């Protein structure tokens, strides 16, 4: 009798320990969740980075939410959603919408350029090339689109490419003419949505980052460097393009100026899990870690990553300081 | 009038096999049988509401086998009346006029006559929901006859009615039949209706017709054990026959005539069995003594079961007679019946 | 009068359910200020999007009515092999997650699929169009109309139709004179259910068509871009207008007691 009673309590003890295990926190180990808001074009590289990072730190769970970069910023600033890291397709978005209240760090880590994507089912797919693309986009019946400039940098960058094309090819009113052939229905909030529209044959051409085109195995037209926003040497030429996008409140506006695509990442102030987030950034900005993933996936990284001023460098957590250089 | 030849129906829930029937013009013909025998199926097949697997149906000289229901000129009245709830009594009755070209004055006269015979004048503007069972059935009849059908099919029209309404509507049916040329084909369980309304009848069982003929013939000379049992011949026994008599479990029964050597059964109607306390002499050739084993109250009469050796006979007796004879279970009595009351098949 | 415990349990459950449904709705409806509501309804985009929601839902209901009524009648009246399968298939749209519905329709409508190619040649566009929206809404609303109408037909005794035919009416006449007058209330309720389902659809539509923008998509967009303050008023207007419409339609189904 007594023996059996003891056995019962032992069972209870085991069950209790098993149930309480998940709540136990081991000191000194990186654990918990990391919340990342990232630009749509970083989805596939970040998914790979998540896998690699979680293999190194099995107690960590990386949660990613992809959206256009302005939308990501607004989720932090307006909706006050909890977030540890924001990775933007345009570092200026972080500067304009998050610094200084919601972030004080903005690390530039990669570049990209715009291409015109299509599939072999697209209209005039066998004709299109770097010289005639703008003629084809203007043809009646061609369905082409881009993402929403108010929510996604890829959107306003696509418009900038068109403005620059007008100047480069010296065709007056080319921009107006092309936009007239792109009804509102062909705009989507996130540029990656355009990929599935291309793949199902619902759209003929879409403006995307080269990295995304490569990752999704789409066909694409390479454009001259002067207009593809990919080469910082042409920043002065790019400057000519401007697009007005909505500001923080309905009715207010911001002006975005043409600049080469530079991706930025920020550690959000008052992050729920700053410790683990720093560890993630340590991995992401490592030339053998995250930066290598980006390279493999067709998105040229900055090696090393850059911050604009010495002041910002000193604000970085210690482990990150030797991963960046100061460059304007 | 109605000729059915080799009709077969094979649907998942029910089957009819090799139905052959001839019904004369203006006859009142009744279909009888237990539940599930296929009577309603046959009616609906005649009306064209159920498809046939094979067979022919003719009305007069005209073959109607392939015709849709609306072109057959056959009306149907159901047990649950099936009045259109969203139309008034008058609209229900005149519904068929939308689809038949009938001269207006003629139609009005017919309408008035039907309303009169069925006593429906006061109900013209009422809705079915406000009618009693008997009223509803009379409206259903008026509606069916308004289009002057060649054939009127009735599916147990009286069984949903209260007993007092039943007599009323039964009377109306008889009047309607006699005052028109329509052939009536009715399905029923109730023998009172059969006996009071019909000339000829058919008994159905398991999708087949067992017997057709005049009502009297069916009741008095059933052609098979099933029919005999169905029409209430309670004393039904397997027997071995020998010239003019038969043996049933050691009891000898005089038949008084030679019978078909292939006969296997005999039956006697309970009404033909006389029960008495004392032996009495009569011309009846079958006389036995036995013990009363059961007295069952059947309402208007009593059913007495008498055991004669290994055979149990059932007879009928009125309450008055029961009291007068002082019959009780267990007492010895005498049982007699005529040789001619023995039915052999 | 003393009531049994079962009665009180039922009443309590009823109160809990009413509160569960009403409290969040009342909170949402009373959150925006009157000024905010006025400003919102004066925004042309908002009005256009609410009107688009209503009229695409209406079209979806109409298509369901035309295509669904004969099928509902067939299912109510006949028994055939595989009937259960057909009925289960009809219920499928209810079980499929909404984005999956959108993706499926988009895949079929694109040039990579034979139907999409035919549509493209006919000049019919599904992605980002009113046609596409109505297609999605019909897909999700059909089962509701079909089931309500089928039940309505099942409630009418087939004997009424048989008698009508025996009296000389063709199948069509029987349907219009007998079946329809007795079933129209069920059909109307089916249409209301179909409309209600269609007006509230979001996940499937947003995949097929972001623009033109139906009201639920606008509410979501405003929420994501500007927060609660700017999305609630649109929600309040949509819910209020829908409520009034459905209430009016429901009044039509009240049974007039005839003397």
ipTM entry: 0.81
Give the whole-angstrom CA distance, residue A214 versus residue A229: 17
A23-111+263-326 with A114-257: one CATH topology?
A: yes
Nearest residue, CB atoms, C116 vs list A185, A199, A201: A201
Tally of domains in chain C: 1
User: Which tens digits make up the pLDDT trace of C190-235?
Assistant: 999 999 999 999 999 999 998 899 999 999 888 877 777 888 999 9
Whether C111 has a pLDDT exceeding 70, the answer reads yes
Q: What pLDDT score does A34 carry?
A: 93
Instruction: Compute φ and ψ for A144, nearest 5 degrees.
Output: -135, 155
Instruction: Give the three-class secondary structure for B16.
Output: strand
Report CB contact under 8 Å: A246, C127.
no
Rg, chain C, Cα only: 22
User: Which tens digits make up the pLDDT trace of A161-206?
Assistant: 999 999 999 999 999 999 999 998 899 988 878 998 999 889 999 9
> In 3D, which of A145, A138, A141 has the Cα closest to residue A159?
A145
Domain boundaries, chain A: 23-111+263-326, 114-257
Q: Is residue C187 part of a domain?
A: yes
Tokens of B276: 């008495």
Average pLDDT of span B58-72: 88
Report CB contact under 8 Å: B69, C166.
yes
| pLDDT band, residue A28 (cuts 50/70/90) | very low
Whether A156 has a pLDDT exceeding 90, the answer reads yes
Report CB contact under 8 Å: A187, C111.
no
Please, how many CA atoms are within 13 Å of residue A245, restricted to the half-sphere of its CB?
27
Report CB contact under 8 Å: B70, C181.
no
Nearest residue, CB atoms, C227 vs list A67, A79, A202: A79
Q: Is residue C251 part of a domain?
A: no
A94 CB-near residues (< 8 Å, 6+ apart): A73, A86, A88, A103, A106, A264, A266
Q: Is residue C35 part of a domain?
A: no
Average pLDDT of span B305-323: 87
Q: Does C256 touch chain B (CB under 8 A)?
A: no
Average pLDDT of span C174-191: 93
Q: Does C126 touch chain A (CB under 8 A)?
A: yes
Whether A1 has a pLDDT exceeding 60, the answer reads no
**Chain B and chain A touch, per 3+ beta carbon pairs within 8 A:** no
Nearest residue, CB atoms, C226 vs list A78, A183, A199: A78
Q: What pLDDT score does C159 carry?
A: 93
Helices (H), B59-189: 89-93, 104-117, 133-146, 163-178
Q: Is residue C26 part of a domain?
A: no
Tokens of B300: 């208007």
Average pLDDT of span C84-108: 92
Q: Is residue C7 part of a domain?
A: no
- List the single range of A307-316, B256-265, C70-79 with lowest mean pLDDT: B256-265
Tally of residues, chain C: 259
CA C199 to the chain's CA centroid: 7
Return the CATH number at C151: 1.10.3720.10
- Considering only residues B232 and C38, tell me which one the structure prediction assigns the higher pLDDT: C38
Please report all neighbours of B, defined by 3+ CB atom pairs within 8 A: C
Domains recognised in chain B with CATH numbers: 2-226 (3.40.50.300), 233-344 (2.40.50.100)
Give the whole-angstrom CA distance, residue C132 versus residue C125: 7
Q: Using a CB-CB distance cutoff of 8 angstroms, which residues of chain C are in contact with residue A150?
A: 225
Give the whole-angstrom CA distance, residue B178 versus residue B194: 16
| pLDDT band, residue A31 (cuts 50/70/90) | confident
Domain span holding position C80: 53-214
Whether A213 has a pLDDT exceeding 50, the answer reads yes
Q: What pLDDT score does C73 carry?
A: 95
Helix (H) or strand (E) holding A52: helix A43-56
Q: What pLDDT score does A5 carry?
A: 63
Whether A121 has a pLDDT exceeding 60, the answer reads yes
> What's the pTM?
0.78
- Write down the CATH number for the domain with range A114-257: 3.40.190.10
- Count CB neighbours of A248 within 10 A: 17
Q: Is residue C224 part of a domain?
A: no
Whether C85 has a pLDDT exceeding 70, the answer reads yes
- Average of per-residue pLDDT values in chain B: 87
How far are the Cα atoms of A184, B124, B166, C185, C239 from residue C57, in angstroms, in the given order?
22, 45, 55, 19, 14
- Average of per-residue pLDDT values in chain A: 88
Kindly report the nearest CA distance between residue A71 and chain C, in angstroms: 6
Fold of the CATH domain A23-111+263-326? D-Maltodextrin-Binding Protein; domain 2 (3.40.190)
Q: Is residue C78 part of a domain?
A: yes
């Amino acid at each position: 009798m007594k023996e059996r009673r003891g056995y019962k309590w032992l069972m209870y003890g085991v069950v209790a320990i098993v149930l309480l295990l998940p709540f136990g926190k081991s000191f000194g180990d990186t654990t918990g969740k990391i919340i990342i808001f990232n630009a749509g074009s970083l989805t596939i590289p970040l998914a790979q980075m998540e896998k690699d990072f979680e293999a190194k730190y099995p107690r960590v769970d990386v949660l990613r939410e992809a959206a256009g970069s302005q939308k990501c910023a607004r989720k932090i600033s307006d909706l006050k959603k909890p977030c540890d890291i924001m990775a933007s397709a345009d570092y200026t978005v972080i500067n304009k919408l998050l610094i200084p209240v919601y972030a004080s760090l903005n690390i530039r880590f990669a570049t990209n350029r715009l291409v015109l994507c299509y599939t072999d089912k697209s209209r005039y797919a066998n004709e299109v090339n770097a010289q005639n693309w703008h003629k084809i986009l203007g043809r009646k019946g061609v369905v082409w689109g881009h993402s929403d400039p108010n929510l996604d940098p890829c959107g306003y960058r696509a418009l900038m490419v068109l403005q620059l094309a007008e100047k480069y090819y010296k065709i007056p009113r080319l921009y107006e003419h092309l936009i007239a052939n792109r009804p509102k229905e062909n705009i989507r909030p996130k540029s990656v949505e355009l990929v599935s529209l291309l793949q199902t044959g619902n759209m003929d051409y879409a403006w995307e980052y080269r990295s995304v085109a490569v990752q999704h195995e789409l066909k694409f037209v390479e454009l001259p460097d002067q207009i593809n926003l990919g080469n910082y040497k042409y920043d002065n030429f790019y400057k000519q393009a401007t697009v007005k996008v909505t500001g923080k409140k309905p009715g207010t506006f911001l002006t975005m100026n043409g600049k080469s695509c530079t991706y930025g990442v920020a550690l959000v102030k008052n992050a729920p899990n700053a410790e683990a987030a720093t560890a993630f950034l340590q991995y992401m900005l490592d030339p053998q870690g995250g930066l290598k993933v980006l390279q493999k996936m067709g998105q040229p990284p900055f090696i090393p990553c850059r911050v604009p001023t010495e002041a910002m460098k000193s604000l970085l957590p210690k482990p990150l300081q030797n991963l960046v250089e100061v460059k304007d | 009038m109605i000729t059915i030849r080799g009709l077969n129906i094979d649907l998942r829930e029910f089957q009819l096999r090799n139905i052959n029937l001839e019904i004369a013009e203006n006859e009142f013909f009744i279909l009888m049988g237990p539940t599930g025998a296929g009577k309603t199926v046959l009616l609906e097949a005649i009306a064209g509401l159920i498809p046939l697997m094979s067979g022919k149906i003719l009305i007069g000289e005209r073959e109607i086998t392939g015709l849709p229901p609306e072109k057959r000129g056959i009306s149907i009245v159901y047990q649950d009346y099936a009045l259109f709830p969203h139309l008034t009594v008058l609209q229900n009755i005149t519904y068929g006029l939308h689809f038949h070209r009938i001269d207006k004055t003629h139609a009005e006269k017919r309408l008035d006559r039907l309303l009169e015979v069925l006593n429906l004048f006061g109900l013209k503007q009422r809705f079915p929901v406000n009618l009693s069972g008997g009223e509803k059935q009379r409206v259903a009849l008026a509606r069916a006859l308004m289009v002057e059908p060649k054939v009127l099919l009735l599916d147990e029209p009286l069984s949903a009615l209260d007993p007092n309404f039943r007599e009323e509507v039964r009377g109306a049916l008889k009047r309607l039949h006699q005052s028109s040329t329509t052939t009536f084909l009715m399905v029923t369980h109730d023998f009172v209706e059969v006996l009071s309304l019909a000339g000829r009848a058919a008994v159905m069982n398991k999708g087949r017709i067992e017997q057709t003929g005049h009502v009297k013939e069916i009741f008095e000379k059933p052609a098979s054990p099933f029919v005999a049992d169905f029409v209430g011949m309670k004393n039904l026994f397997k027997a071995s026959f020998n010239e003019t008599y038969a043996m049933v479990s050691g009891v000898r029964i005089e038949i008084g005539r030679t019978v078909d050597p292939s006969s296997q059964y005999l039956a006697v109607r309970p009404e033909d069995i006389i029960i008495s306390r004392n032996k009495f002499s009569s011309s009846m050739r079958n006389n036995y003594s036995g013990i009363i084993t059961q007295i069952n109250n059947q309402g208007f009469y009593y059913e007495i079961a008498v055991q004669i050796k290994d055979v149990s006979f059932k007879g009928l007796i009125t309450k008055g007679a029961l009291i007068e004879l002082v019959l009780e279970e267990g007492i010895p009595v005498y049982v007699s019946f005529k040789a001619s009351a023995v039915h052999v098949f | 009068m003393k009531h049994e415990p079962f009665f009180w349990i039922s009443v309590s459950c009823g109160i809990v359910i009413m509160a569960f449904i009403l409290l969040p709705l009342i909170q949402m409806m009373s959150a925006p200020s009157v000024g905010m509501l006025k400003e919102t309804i004066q925004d042309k985009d908002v009005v256009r999007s609410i009107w688009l929601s209503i009229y695409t839902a209406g079209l979806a209901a109409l298509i369901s009515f035309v295509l669904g009524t004969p099928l509902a009648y067939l299912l109510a009246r006949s028994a055939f092999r595989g009937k259960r399968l057909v009925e289960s298939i009809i219920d499928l749209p209810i079980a499929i997650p909404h984005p999956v519905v959108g993706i499926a329709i988009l895949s079929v409508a694109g040039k990579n699929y034979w139907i999409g190619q035919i549509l493209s040649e006919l000049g019919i566009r599904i992605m980002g169009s009113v046609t596409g929206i109505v297609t999605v809404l019909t897909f999700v609303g059909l089962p509701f109309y079909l089931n309500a109408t089928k039940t309505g037909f099942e409630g009418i005794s087939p004997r009424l139709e048989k008698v009508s035919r025996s009296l000389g009416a063709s199948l069509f006449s029987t349907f219009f004179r007998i079946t329809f007058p007795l079933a129209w209330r069920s059909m109307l309720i089916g249409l209301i259910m179909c409309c209600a389902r269609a007006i509230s659809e979001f996940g499937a539509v947003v995949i097929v068509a972001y623009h033109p923008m139906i009201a639920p998509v606008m509410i979501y967009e405003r929420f994501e871009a500007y927060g609660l303050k700017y999305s609630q008023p649109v929600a309040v207007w949509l819910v209020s207008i829908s409520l009034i419409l459905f209430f009016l339609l429901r009044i039509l189904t009240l049974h007039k007691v005839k003397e």
